[in-house]
Structure 1
Amino acid sequence: MQIELRPVTNENWEACCALELTAEQQGFLEPNVYSIAQAGFEPTLVMRAIYAADELVGFLVYNSEREELDSYWIYRLMVDQRHQGSGVGREAMRLLLGEMQQLPEATCIVVGYRPDNQAAHRLYERLGFIDHGDRFGKEMAVRYTF
């Protein structure tokens, strides 16, 4: 399966908003429309649509400016419920890490997620993110070091 990260544009932003999580995952992430609105007010946020072949299957957002833990942060990774479990999230994260490694002085990438989100925990652990005990509100933050 060919996975590709593309910019979120006038042509695909509404389709990004229509992507859905499973009922069990609803409490883990804000709706994509929230992230798209947030990016309109925070110019350092970068949005990407995740495509498998030419089908939109997911959405992600990261900050192109360092913040807490002197690191770049991934704000959102979501894969539509119909495409979960197929390796889309893992491959999208690999592509994203490659893209983020090109940011100025990128040495560490951080992603936060709710501790009860076991699917996210397994994904990030498999990709090499390490839990150093960092907590921000309801979320734990794990780090990937280049």
Structure 2
Amino acid sequence: MKSVKLVEVNEENWYECCQLELTEEQSSYMESNAVSIAQSKFEPGLKPFAIYEKEQVVGFLMFNTEREELDGYWVYRIMVDRRHQGKGIGKRATEEMLAIMSELPGCERIVVGYHPGNLGAHRLYESLGFQDEGNRFGKEMAVIYQVTS
């Protein structure tokens, strides 16, 4: 049974996405979901999704459907509400997202940038096979997932 699913942000779930909270430490690493949703309205390549566990919105993610730096498709946000962290939701949601992104035209690389101090993000991406090839963008490190066909 799949208890975690992704649903594109829509008129029924956008506000719930905006109500989700990170821990205080995590909030210094990431824009709010409201800013991300607004950004997606002005950058049409960005696709925002609500993360559901059963029928409840528990997280948010967003990725770009247009290739960018490092000749890859970029993950812009992945977050799970602080009250639902530690249950494996982020990993299952990221696996679903990688499957969707792998279907993008000519997708060979998926890239995500994050603050090196964000150890939760580091553990998640490492566990899914993202590799650190030394790419840095400002204060963020970028890790790469090689898509196998």
Partner deviation per Cα, 1:25-65 (whole Å, 9 max, x = no partner): 11010111110110010000001100000010000000000
Question: Any stretches of 5+ residues in structure 2 without a counterpart?
Answer: none
Q: 2:24 aligned with 1:18, yes or no?
A: no
Partner deviation per Cα, 1:70-114 (whole Å, 9 max, x = no partner): 100000000000110100000000000000010000010000000
Quick one: which amino acid aligns to residue 145 of structure 1? Q
What secondary structure does 2:34 align onto? helix
Q: Which residue number in structure 2 is paired with residue 80 of structure 1?
A: 81
What secondary structure does 2:90 align onto? helix
Quick one: which amino acid aligns to residue 96 of structure 1? M
Counterparts of residues 1-146 of structure 1 (less than 5 Å): 2-146=3-147
What secondary structure does 2:99 align onto? helix
Partner deviation per Cα, 1:106-127 (whole Å, 9 max, x = no partner): 0100000000001100110001
What secondary structure does 1:43 align onto? coil
TM-score by length of structure 1 reads 0.98
What secondary structure does 2:144 align onto? strand
In the alignment, the residues of structure 1 paired with residue 24 and residue 68 of structure 2 have an alpha-carbon distance, to the nearest angstrom, of 32
**Fraction of identical pairs, as percent:** 56
How far the C-alpha of 1:11 sits from its partner, in A, is 1.2
Deviation >4 Å, runs of 4+: none
In the alignment, the residues of structure 2 paired with residue 52 and residue 41 of structure 1 have an alpha-carbon distance, to the nearest angstrom, of 28
In the alignment, the residues of structure 1 paired with residue 27 and residue 109 of structure 2 have an alpha-carbon distance, to the nearest angstrom, of 28
The size of the alignment, in residue pairs, is 146
Question: Any stretches of 5+ residues in structure 1 without a counterpart?
Answer: none
How far the C-alpha of 1:142 sits from its partner, in A, is 0.1
TM-score by length of structure 2 reads 0.96
